[in-house]
């Protein structure tokens, strides 16, 4: 059986891509980096970070907040009130993660990042 990294080794890197946040990342247990990613809305074509309040319905259009500004996405995720779409290197697709949740322990600013 292969793990996610082996199965998805053909995927382009997330870190440093146009889709990934440049000024912050989420720090998971064991030092795993998860990168907030911009998603394309297939109906509108808008590319933005997606955030949602934790709980049922985070994958429904009516419960998602789309944010184009990276500093705003950072502030919302750092508040621990919202979960944000993020992805580890090698994962097939992003999931929702919340700072202070079971998996993500902290949010880290890169090169001063947004304040």
Q: Give the pLDDT confidence of 43-80 residue by residue, as tens digits.
A: 888 999 999 998 866 667 778 999 999 999 999 999 99
Q: Which helix (H) or strand (E) holds 50?
A: strand 47-52
- The DSSP code for 113 is -
Residue 98 has pLDDT above 90, yes or no: yes
pTM for the model stands at: 0.80
Closest CA to 106 of 6, 36, 43, 28: 28
Beta bridge pairs of residue 34? 26, 88
Residue listed under structure tokens 């297939």: 42
């Amino acid at each position: 059986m292969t793990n996610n990294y082996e199965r998805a080794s053909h995927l382009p890197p997330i870190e440093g891509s146009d889709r990934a946040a440049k000024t912050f990342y989420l720090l998971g247990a064991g030092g795993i980096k998860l990168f907030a990613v911009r998603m394309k809305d297939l109906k509108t074509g808008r590319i933005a970070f997606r955030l949602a309040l934790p709980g049922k319905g985070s994958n429904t259009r009516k419960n998602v907040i789309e944010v184009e500004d990276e500093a705003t996405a950072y502030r919302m995720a750092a508040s621990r009130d919202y979960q944000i779409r993020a992805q580890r290197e090698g994962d097939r697709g992003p999931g929702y993660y919340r700072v202070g949740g079971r998996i993500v322990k902290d949010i880290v600013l890169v090169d001063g990042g947004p304040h």
